[in-house]
């Protein structure tokens, strides 16, 4: 980015003149501007010029030096003389500094121009001619605004006035020009004002870099993002429609299916009150009716919970998984207080998720371990975990019946049972609910088991930041 050149007084020390010659020998491009600030004592041998280097990476720096007057320069064989202030003249066999500046400007690969304070082109380089499609003769003397896109003229004129008046040190902006063929040229423009010893702007140095392809790529990316956003919006509407259908389905299950089920159970209860009038076969049939009604009611409850797990809004927060595991175990133990059980849970396990759904997840997994340990004298369940980067890996281990790993792919499918009712098999919904909850938390769940040796269920969830992490 251009910086404002700094202009001190005229420097007539021979060391600065030597510095100017070193710059020329290093092929540093130099421009000079004459001023009239030379002291009378030095005026006889020196003319005051401002010397500045042209940096093709968009920077302009300056230093004031004393340059010998031309009438004190002899031919190439004459040695340069020093004035009273010690300024030594340049060798006449070296190219003039202003010629070297113009050579650098003409050979530059980016558009460059000198513009007067009224905004008219004074000099342009070939790169700028190629960018705009005009010859130098068609540009010089014309206002830059004539080649500026109509929507950018007001902004350009305001910025130019601000720069000339000293409101800003330099300009760095993107704007549009109009090429000869009518196409729009996007350019990154850097403008610096060259000022005299009184701080008044004398002229402007302008550099333009063609960014038309870059802007086109950005526009394509924006259009792609808008298309994706529209697609996401349509997908969101479709998901909302599906959720509404699921809500209607859940409502139908809750009301329409439960109504006849309640009727069956009520009439069965009336018959049970007169069970002494039934023979053994009749009492068996009645028991089967009531058991089937209970299983149907349990299945309806599980389907409703599966629906809620799929569509309920997630309220993410840091959740104490250890506490939820203890809570779920306490509910199981209260339901069957006569059963001997051992339960161990590792402290300090925190996940990022919805507390209500994670409670349901742990209930399903612990209930699964509990019911398949019925044949054991003592239920043993162990909950542990470890944090791996930003993930929490949970393990729920039991010493129950276990299962054959050949059928592990069916474990989380709804209504799939690896055990029959005589082995405490359920309705095939519990683990499907667990998987749905884990997936909605962008996690995964899997199991390892061996028949007769128990099972271990692994759950990966987003980890929550704890106080130790923040410290």
For the ranges 33-37, 137-141, 196-200, the lowest mean pLDDT is seen at: 33-37
- Report CA-CA distances (Å) from 117 to 111, 161, 164, 223, 254: 19, 9, 7, 40, 81
If you average pLDDT over each of 240-254, 298-312, 388-402, which comes out highest?
388-402
> What whole-number distance in Å separates Cα of residue 248 and Cα of residue 271?
34
Given this model, what pLDDT does residue 260 score?
83
How does strand 121-124 pair with strand 111-115?
antiparallel
**For 181-201, how does the pLDDT look when each residue is reduced to its tens digit (9 = 90+)?**
999 999 999 999 999 888 899
Token pair of 389, please?
């980067």
In this prediction, residue 426 has a pLDDT band, given cuts at 50, 70 and 90, of low
> What whole-number distance in Å separates Cα of residue 285 and Cα of residue 292?
11
In this prediction, residue 52 has a pLDDT band, given cuts at 50, 70 and 90, of very low
Report whether pLDDT(471) > 70.
no
Q: Which helix (H) or strand (E) holds 39?
A: none
In this prediction, residue 245 has a pLDDT band, given cuts at 50, 70 and 90, of confident
Dihedral over Cα of 297, 300, 305, 308: its sign = negative
**For 147-162, how does the pLDDT look when each residue is reduced to its tens digit (9 = 90+)?**
999 999 999 999 999 9
Establish how many alpha carbons lie within 13 A of residue 167's alpha carbon, considering only the half-sphere containing its beta carbon. Answer: 9
Beta-bridge partner residues of 114: 123, 205
User: In the block, which residue shows the tokens 């884990």?
Assistant: 438
Report whether pLDDT(83) > 60.
no
Given this model, what pLDDT does residue 35 score?
44
> What whole-number distance in Å separates Cα of residue 152 and Cα of residue 125?
23
If DSSP codes are grouped into helix, strand and coil, which group holds residue 261?
helix
Token pair of 237, please?
């509407």
In this prediction, residue 423 has a pLDDT band, given cuts at 50, 70 and 90, of low
Average the pLDDT over 28-56 and give the result.
Answer: 41
Q: At what angle do helices 280-311 and 430-440 cross, to 10 degrees?
A: 10
Given this model, what pLDDT does residue 106 score?
86
Range list of β-strands (E), 131-247: 170-178, 184-195, 201-210
Q: Which helix (H) or strand (E) holds 26?
A: none
> What whole-number distance in Å separates Cα of residue 184 and Cα of residue 152?
12
Given this model, what pLDDT does residue 330 score?
93
**For 313-326, how does the pLDDT look when each residue is reduced to its tens digit (9 = 90+)?**
889 999 999 999 99
User: In the block, which residue shows the tokens 């998720």?
Assistant: 353
Alpha carbon 81 to chain centroid distance?
A: 65
**For 337-349, how does the pLDDT look when each residue is reduced to its tens digit (9 = 90+)?**
898 889 999 999 9
Number of other CB atoms surrounding residue 118 within 10 Å: 9
Report whether pLDDT(399) > 70.
yes
Q: At what angle do helices 355-371 and 280-311 cross, to 10 degrees?
A: 150
Given this model, what pLDDT does residue 116 score?
93
- Taking a C-beta distance cutoff of 8 angstroms, is the pair 34, 49 a contact? yes
In this prediction, residue 96 has a pLDDT band, given cuts at 50, 70 and 90, of low
């Amino acid at each position: 980015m251009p910086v404002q050149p700094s202009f001190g007084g005229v420097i007539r020390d021979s060391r600065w003149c030597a510095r100017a010659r070193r710059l020329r020998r290093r092929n540093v491009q130099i421009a000079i501007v004459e001023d009239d600030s030379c002291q009378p004592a030095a005026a006889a041998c020196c003319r005051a010029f401002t010397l500045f280097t042209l940096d093709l990476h968009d920077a302009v720096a300056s230093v004031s030096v004393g340059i010998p007057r031309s009438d004190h320069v002899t031919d190439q064989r004459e040695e340069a003389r020093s004035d009273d202030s010690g300024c030594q003249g340049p060798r006449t066999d070296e190219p003039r500094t202003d010629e070297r500046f113009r050579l650098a400007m003409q050979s530059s690969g980016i558009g460059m121009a000198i513009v007067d304070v009224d905004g008219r082109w004074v000099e342009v380089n070939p790169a700028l001619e190629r960018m705009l499609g005009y010859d130098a003769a068609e540009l010089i003397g014309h206002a830059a605004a004539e080649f500026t896109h109509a929507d950018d003229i007001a902004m350009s004129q305001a910025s130019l006035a601000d720069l000339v008046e000293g409101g800003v040190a330099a300009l760095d902006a993107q704007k549009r020009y109009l090429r000869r063929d009518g196409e729009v040229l996007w350019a990154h423009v850097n403008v610096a004002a060259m000022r005299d010893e009184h701080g008044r702007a004398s002229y402007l140095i302008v550099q333009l870099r063609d960014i038309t392809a870059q802007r086109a790529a950005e526009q394509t990316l924006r259009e792609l993002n808008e298309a994706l956003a529209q697609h996401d919006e349509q997908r969101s509407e479709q998901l909302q429609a599906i959720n509404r259908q699921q809500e209607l389905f859940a409502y139908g299950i809750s009301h329409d299916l439960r109504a006849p089920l309640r009727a069956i159970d009520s009439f069965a209860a009336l018959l049970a009150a007169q069970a002494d009038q039934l023979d053994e076969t009749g009492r068996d049939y009645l028991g089967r009716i009531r058991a089937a009604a209970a299983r149907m009611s349990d299945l309806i409850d599980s389907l409703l919970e599966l629906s809620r797990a799929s569509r309920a809004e997630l309220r993410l927060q840091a959740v104490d998984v250890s506490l939820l595991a203890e809570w779920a175990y306490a509910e199981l133990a209260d339901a069957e207080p006569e059963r001997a059980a051992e339960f161990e849970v590792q402290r300090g396990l925190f996940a990022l998720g919805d507390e209500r759904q994670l409670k349901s997840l742990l209930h399903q997994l612990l209930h699964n371990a509990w019911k398949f340990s019925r044949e054991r004298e003592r239920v043993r369940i162990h909950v542990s975990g470890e944090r791996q980067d930003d993930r929490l890996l949970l393990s729920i281990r039991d010493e129950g019946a276990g299962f054959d790993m050949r059928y592990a792919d069916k474990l989380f499918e709804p209504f799939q049972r690896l055990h029959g009712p005589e082995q405490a098999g359920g309705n095939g919904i519990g683990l499907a609910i667990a998987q749905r909850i884990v997936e909605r938390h962008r996690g995964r769940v899997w199991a390892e088991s061996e028949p007769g040796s128990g099972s271990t269920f692994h759950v990966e969830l987003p980890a929550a930041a704890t106080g130790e992490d923040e410290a």
